[in-house]
Chain A
Amino acid sequence: MRSVAVFNAFNVEFARAVGAFDSVVGIDEGAAGANYKGYWGDFDTSRTVGKGQADPNYERLVAANPEVVVFPRNGAWEEAVRKLEPFGIKVLVITGWDLSRHVYNVSLYGVLFDRRAEAEKVNAFYTRYFDLLKTRLAGAPRKRVFLENETTFTAPVPGSGWHDMIETGGGTNIFGDIVFGSLANPKGSVHALSVDPEAILARNPELVIKLGGGGFDPASSGNLRTKASVVLARPGWAGLDAVKAGNVVVSSSFPMNACSKIIGALYVAKWLHPDRMADIDPDAALREWVQTFQRATLPDVASYRLVNQG
Chain B
Amino acid sequence: MSILEQRRAPGTDDDVPEPERASTFSSRPRGGAAALTKLGMSVVLLVIGVVGAAAVAASGVSFTSAARGMWAKALGHELVGDALRAQTLVWELRLPRIALAIAAGAGLSVAGVVLQALLRNPLVSPFTLGISSAASFGASAALVLDGWSFGGGQAAVVGCAFAVAIGCATLVFGLASFRRTSPEALVLVGIAVTDLFAALTAAMQYLATDEQLAEIVRWTFGSVNGAKWGHAAVVGGVVAVSVPVLLWRASAFNAVAFAGDDAARSLGVNVTALRIGGGLVAVALAATVVSFTGVIGFVGLVGPHIARLIIGADHRYLIPFSAVAGAALLLAADTIGRSLFSPAVIPVGIVVSLLGAPLFLNLVLARRRFL
A interface residues with partner B (beta carbon < 8 Å): 30, 33-35, 51-52, 149-154, 157, 175, 178, 180, 186-187, 192-199, 201-202, 211, 213, 222-223, 226-227, 230, 235-236, 239, 253
Decide if B146 touches A198 in the complex (CB within 8 Å).
no
Instruction: Check B60 for interface membership: any CB of A closer than 8 A.
Output: yes
Decide if A226 touches B153 in the complex (CB within 8 Å).
yes
Decide if B88 touches A222 in the complex (CB within 8 Å).
no
Decide if A151 touches B85 in the complex (CB within 8 Å).
no
A199 in contact with B151 given A30-B210, A213-B211 (CB within 8 Å): no
In this complex, what residue of B is CB-closest to A52? B210
Decide if B148 touches A196 in the complex (CB within 8 Å).
no
**CB contact between A150 and one of B60, B89, B214 (< 8 Å): that residue:** B214
Q: A197-B225, A199-B59, A199-B343 are in contact. List 9 more A-B contacts (CB 8 A).
A: A33-B209, A34-B209, A198-B61, A199-B342, A201-B93, A223-B149, A227-B153, A235-B228, A236-B88
Decide if A236 touches B225 in the complex (CB within 8 Å).
no
Decide if A150 touches B211 in the complex (CB within 8 Å).
yes
Instruction: Check B44 for interface membership: any CB of A closer than 8 A.
Output: no
Bound Cα distance A35, B146 (Å): 13
Decide if A187 touches B345 in the complex (CB within 8 Å).
no
Decide if B214 touches A149 in the complex (CB within 8 Å).
yes
Decide if A196 touches B218 in the complex (CB within 8 Å).
no
A226 in contact with B226 given A150-B215, A195-B345, A196-B338 (CB within 8 Å): no
Chain B positions within 8 Å of A235 at CB level: 88, 92-93, 96, 228
A35 in contact with B209 given A150-B214, A223-B148, A226-B153 (CB within 8 Å): yes
Decide if A196 touches B211 in the complex (CB within 8 Å).
no
A-B contact count (CB 8 A): 115
CB distance from A69 to the nearest CB of B (A): 19
Instruction: Check B58 for interface membership: any CB of A closer than 8 A.
Output: yes
In this complex, what residue of A is CB-closest to B154? A230
Within 8 A of A (CB), among B338-371: 338, 341-347
B interface residues with partner A (beta carbon < 8 Å): 57-61, 84-85, 88-89, 92-94, 96, 146, 148-149, 151, 153-154, 206, 209-215, 217-218, 221, 223, 225-226, 228, 338, 341-347
CB distance from B370 to the nearest CB of A (A): 34
Bound Cα distance A180, B148 (Å): 29
Chain A positions within 8 Å of B228 at CB level: 235
**CB contact between A153 and one of B60, B148, B149, B226 (< 8 Å): that residue:** B226
Chain A positions within 8 Å of B345 at CB level: 153, 194-196
In this complex, what residue of A is CB-closest to B88? A236
Bound Cα distance A150, B212 (Å): 8
Closest 9 CB pairs of A and B: A202-B59, A235-B92, A199-B343, A150-B211, A196-B58, A213-B211, A236-B88, A199-B58, A222-B149
**CB contact between A239 and one of B84, B94, B148, B217 (< 8 Å): that residue:** B84
| 30 A-B pairs (CB sep. < 8 Å) | A33-B209, A34-B209, A51-B206, A52-B210, A151-B215, A152-B218, A152-B226, A153-B345, A187-B221, A192-B214, A194-B218, A194-B223, A194-B347, A195-B343, A196-B58, A196-B59, A198-B59, A198-B93, A198-B94, A199-B58, A199-B59, A202-B89, A213-B211, A226-B148, A227-B148, A230-B153, A230-B154, A236-B88, A236-B93, A253-B211
Bound Cα distance A157, B341 (Å): 13
Decide if A186 touches B149 in the complex (CB within 8 Å).
no
Chain A positions within 8 Å of B209 at CB level: 30, 33-35, 213
CB distance from A16 to the nearest CB of B (A): 20
In this complex, what residue of B is CB-closest to A193? B344
Decide if B344 touches A187 in the complex (CB within 8 Å).
no
Chain B positions within 8 Å of A192 at CB level: 214
Most buried by B among A157, A178, A202: A202
Decide if A201 touches B59 in the complex (CB within 8 Å).
yes
CB distance from B237 to the nearest CB of A (A): 19
A180 in contact with B344 given A197-B225, A201-B93, A230-B154 (CB within 8 Å): yes
In this complex, what residue of B is CB-closest to A224? B148
